[in-house]
Amino acid sequence: MTGIYDELRLIIHVAWRKRWPALLIAWAVAIIGWLIISLIPNGYASESQISVEMQSLLPGKIGVVPAERAQEIERVKQTLISSVSLEKVVRGTRLASEVRTPADMALMVEELRDDLSVKSVQNLFKITARSARRGLSERENARLAQEINQKLLDIFVADNLAGNRDETDQTLRFFDEQLARREKELQTAEQAKADFEQRYAGLLPVAGVGGQRLDQARAELANVDQNLISAQSALVAAQSQIALTPSGSVMGGDGRLGQLESEIVEAQSKGWTESHPDMKALRKQLAAARAAFKSAGGGAVVGNPAYASLRAIYAERQATVAGLRVRRAALMAEVNSLSSRSAAAPNITAQQAQMNRDYDVMKDQYDKLLKDREEIRLRSDVESQTDSVKFRVIDPPTYPRTPDAPNRPLLLFAVLVIALGAGVAAAVVAGQIHRTYSNIPVLQKSSGMNVLGAISHVATLSDTARQRRHAKLFKGMLLGLFACFIVLMAVEFIQRGTVA
């Protein structure tokens, strides 16, 4: 501990002996440092805070979800300090007076970007604008910072409200143009489709003819052929029954002949043929009755009602066969016509299918564009009429009364400390270069020899007077250094007072 104390006394002794160079160095360092600090302009920061509130009920029903709105707000935040936005700020403030050329504008935008800060915490946005321009006074820099912040705030709200409306209007105009163009294309396609169907009306499946109609005609022709065969068979059967049925009968006797003839007609109506045993028995009975009736003297001949009925049935079946033959001839002509036209134009069906596909694609695109346009229109109405996003200014742009940078009082004090330290350090270094010994123990320790004694300095009256003058001068210069520091601090606070 004694060694440290001795070293400290030695340093103080050396510094005191070299006090004049130390004081001069301290003055030089202080003046240079304070001069540099004086060249740094005070920067004033203006802050504002806004709240963004999103509606959570109706917008979610039509697709304006909070996540999407948050993305849009983040996009506006990123574009807020873009070159376009900053150019608006420059033109809207007094900075525009410093812009002469596009290069000046680009330089001003870069400087302004460094002086801006936009931070967001959930739904709160904090905008900070600084101004530290050399050509402006303290008051003007403070006012400029507030103007820049206010302009940024206006741009923020405008980009979220008017910007969204402009974007929506541009999108709606785009959809209207696309819908108008596609509507014309649809009309052209519909007209071409109608012309195509009219030109090939006999072959187009859509019209119910062509390949489908040919299959229908062939199926109907086969059905008519079957019906014709059945009708012809029925006609032949009726003709056979007429041939076997007498046209008249003899009136008289006990009516046995009439009864037998009626039974025969009834049996034929049941489908019995002449080879049927009962039919053969009835025929034999009828022949015996007729022979007995004739041998007995006979009677008057009258018309047979069964024969008249069979003739009527035969005429009806003959008309049915004739009608089926006419229908068959018409169907044969239609089948031949359709077959020949299909053979003459084999690609018509494929062409119509391609045309229908193209038309369906255009129609689907048109319907989708129409749906998207109405959805965007509805969302735009919701945003503009129901305030899906509300911007509320929590803190308007502040008017800064004190500079935020640099911390000039602290810098002034730091320069003073550094200057004093530099002076002491310079004195110690000089003392080490020109080494002296302040007492006998130090001399003994440094030389390694015994010291018998020391001769003290005897000051004369003139020396004492000179030392007093030097001490007063040194004290005055040292106090002047501190006085300069106090004056600079006073000037700094006076300048700050002028801002208010």
Strands 300-303 and 124-131: unpaired
The residue ranges of DSSP E strands in 333-421, in sequence order, are 389-395
Neighbour tally for 369: CB within 10 Å = 18
Domain identity same for 269 and 346: yes
Domain identity same for 33 and 79: no
Least Cα distance to 72 among 168, 147, 5, 138 occurs for 168
Least Cα distance to 153 among 132, 136, 128 occurs for 128
Average pLDDT over residues 478-493: 91
Map 51-115 to HEC letters: EEEECCCHHHHCCCCHHHHHHHHHHHHHHHCCHHHHHHHHHHCHHHHHCCCHHHHHHHHHHHHHC
Among residues 371, 395, 419, the one where a domain terminates is: 395
Let me know if residue 363 belongs to a domain. Answer: no
Q: Which has the higher per-residue pLDDT, 101 or 119?
A: 101
The secondary structure of residue 398, as a DSSP letter, is P
For 115, the domain range is: 44-176+383-395
Structure tokens, 39: 């060249």
Average pLDDT over residues 361-385: 75
Residue percentage of the chain with pLDDT more than 90: 7
For residue 345, is pLDDT > 60? no
Separation between Cα atoms, residue 166 and residue 294, nearest integer Å:
119
CATH code, 95: 3.30.1890
Neighbour tally for 102: CB within 10 Å = 8
What pLDDT is attached to residue 68?
A: 60
Domain identity same for 341 and 418: no
Q: Which helix (H) or strand (E) holds 390?
A: strand 389-395
Let me know if residue 120 belongs to a domain. Answer: yes
The residue ranges of DSSP E strands in 102-246, in sequence order, are 116-121, 124-131
Domain identity same for 108 and 95: yes
Average pLDDT over residues 58-84: 61
Structure tokens, 323: 């009608």
Let me know if residue 204 belongs to a domain. Answer: no
pLDDT in tens, 27-41: 999 999 999 998 888
Let me know if residue 168 belongs to a domain. Answer: yes
Half-sphere exposure at residue 302, Cβ-oriented, CA atoms within 13 angstroms:
9
For residue 338, is pLDDT > 60? yes
Domain count along the chain: 3
Q: pTM for the full model?
A: 0.46
Contact present, 25 and 424 (Cβ < 8 Å): no
Least Cα distance to 32 among 331, 443, 394, 412 occurs for 412
pLDDT in tens, 174-225: 778 888 888 888 888 888 888 777 776 655 544 444 456 777 888 888 888 8
Let me know if residue 194 belongs to a domain. Answer: no
Domain identity same for 81 and 217: no
User: Across all residues in the chain, what is the average pLDDT?
Assistant: 75
Looking only at Cα atoms, what is the longest distance across the chain?
A: 213
Domain identity same for 55 and 32: no
Let me know if residue 139 belongs to a domain. Answer: yes
Q: Which region among 239-253, 394-408, 416-430 has the lowest average model confidence (pLDDT)?
A: 239-253
- 3-class DSSP assignment, residue 38: helix
What pLDDT is attached to residue 34?
A: 92
Query: pLDDT-derived band of residue 67, with 50, 70 and 90 as boundaries?
Result: low
Domain identity same for 34 and 64: no
Let me know if residue 364 belongs to a domain. Answer: no
Domain identity same for 138 and 217: no
For residue 328, is pLDDT > 70? yes
Domain identity same for 225 and 350: yes
Domain identity same for 54 and 34: no
Q: C-alpha angle with apex 104: 98 to 110, nearest 5 degrees?
A: 105
Domain identity same for 27 and 52: no
Average pLDDT over residues 91-98: 86
Let me know if residue 171 belongs to a domain. Answer: yes
Structure tokens, 87: 């150019």
- 3-class DSSP assignment, residue 118: strand
One-letter amino acid for residue 383 of the chain:
E
Average pLDDT over residues 428-437: 66
What pLDDT is attached to residue 466?
A: 78
Separation between Cα atoms, residue 242 and residue 318, nearest integer Å:
14
Domain identity same for 324 and 430: no
For residue 401, is pLDDT > 90? no
What pLDDT is attached to residue 385?
A: 52
